[in-house]
Amino acid sequence: MTFKHKLSSIVQKNNSLVCVGLDSDLGKIPKHLKSQSDPIFAFNKAIIDSTYDLVCAYKPNSAFYEAYGLEGIAQLKKTFDYINEKYPEIPTVLDAKRADIGNTNEGYARFVFDYMGADSITLHPYLGIETLDSFLKRLDKEVFILCKTSNPGAGELQDLEVGKKPLYQIVAEHVVEKWNYNGNCALVVGAPYPADLNIVRRIAKNLIILIPGIGIQGGKVEDVVKAGVDANGQNAIINSSRGIIFASSEADFAQRTREEAEKLRNEINKFRVTI
């Protein structure tokens, strides 16, 4: 089964475009979990068990786990193992933002797809398509290429004009026209830039777009949904991390996260009209 099919099934089943970003910073998780042996995994497990019927994907960001070395990375693996065993119908994104030259990317593909068991990865575009075969040849996996990122300074390079178009549009065009030869490329466009998201959606009519940066980073739900979904009101994965998973630092944290995820799902669905 391809990532696209997996995503499309769960979007329908859970009626949701919400991706929960498991940016599970040990410094921010509820205190009562910190005495456990695997506190980050315990936190993730509770979040996952309380949101599995409200989401279309989970997206751990590797940096929050690597920060704690082997112990953190072991808990990242436990998180993927748990999702893959208990909720195999929910697609996963390992937000690892990798990309190296050709023979080296094979190592990252093995880490992300084989060792972790993630369904997809995020990648930097700077080295070009010639380096990406290790990822693209994995037909059951999806490859999310950074196009316009969610940070305030994203435009420094991404908005530079190449000919008469900003670089991020050129990236979107290259992905659609050249990189997507196996049909498993997707794009990342940040929620704080709905006008740019709208342009990317016109370039990439049928691609999945991962949209981080809703909420705390400043993206408005209505603008983002209207600009980001495809003609069928689908193929957009709208990610919230801090705004959802740190809704409470008390014993009720998983329940509060569930409420936030449900609220976001419903708000997204209000604007998810098809055209």
| Per annotation, catalytic residue among 97, 165, 220, 263 | 97
Question: Are 43 and 29 a contacting pair, CB within 8 Å?
Answer: yes
To 5 degrees, how large is the angle CA 84–CA 86–CA 89? 60
DSSP string spanning 211-224?
E--BGGG-B-HHHH
- CB of 122 closer than 8 Å to CB of 95: yes
> Which residue number, 13 or 110, has a Cβ lying nearer to a second copy?
110
76-115 footprint of a second copy as x/- string (CB under 8 A):
-x-----------------x-xxxxxx-xxxxx-xx---x
Among 84, 140, 68, smallest CA distance to 116 is for 84
Q: Beta 120-123 vs 142-148: how paired, if at all? A: parallel
Which listed residue (92, 131, 180, 184) binds a second copy by CB under 8 A?
A: 131
Tokens of 48: 């996952």
Minimum distance from CB of 66 to a second copy (Å)?
Answer: 4
CB of 162 to a second copy, least distance (A): 5
Query: Could you say which of 51, 149, 184, 234 contacts a second copy (CB under 8 A)?
Result: 149
- Nearer residue to a second copy within complex by CB, 8 or 217: 217
Where in 14-43 is the site for a second copy (CB under 8 A)? Answer: 23, 25
Query: How far is the C-alpha of 132 from the C-alpha of 128, rounded, in Å?
Result: 8
The encoded tokens of residue 136 equal 């693209």
Taking the least distance from each CB to a second copy, the nearer of 10 and 245 is 245
Q: Could you give the CA distance from residue 251 to residue 121 in angstroms, rounded to a whole number?
A: 32
Give the angle 187-173-131 at the CA atoms, nearest 5°. Answer: 70
Question: How many chain residues are in contact with a second copy, going by CB under 8 A?
Answer: 58
Longest Cα separation, the chain: 56
Which residues are paired to 18 by β-bridges?
238
Residue 97 catalytic? yes
CA distance 126 to 85: 35
Nearer to a second copy, 1 or 157 (CB): 157
Which one, 161 or 222, has the nearer CB to a second copy?
Answer: 161
For a second copy, give the closer residue by CB, 150 or 180.
150
Supply the minimum distance, in Å, between the C-beta of residue 3 and a second copy.
Answer: 21
Residue 164 in the binding site for a second copy (CB under 8 A): no
Residue 158 CB, nearest approach to a second copy (Å): 7
> Under a CB-based contact definition with an 8 Å cutoff, are residues 2 and 51 in contact?
no
Name the minimum Å distance from CB 253 to a second copy: 20
Name the helix (H) or strand (E) containing 142. Answer: strand 142-148
Stretch that binds a second copy, among 38-46, 118-126, 226-234, 251-259 (CB under 8 A): 118-126
Q: Which of 216, 228, 226 is nearest to 260 (CA)?
A: 216
* Residue 251 engages a second copy in binding (rule: CB under 8 A): no
Applying CB under 8 A, the residues found at the interface with a second copy are 23, 25, 61-70, 73-74, 77, 95, 97-102, 104-108, 110-111, 115-116, 124-131, 146, 149-158, 160-163, 167, 170-171, 174
Residues that are catalytic: 97
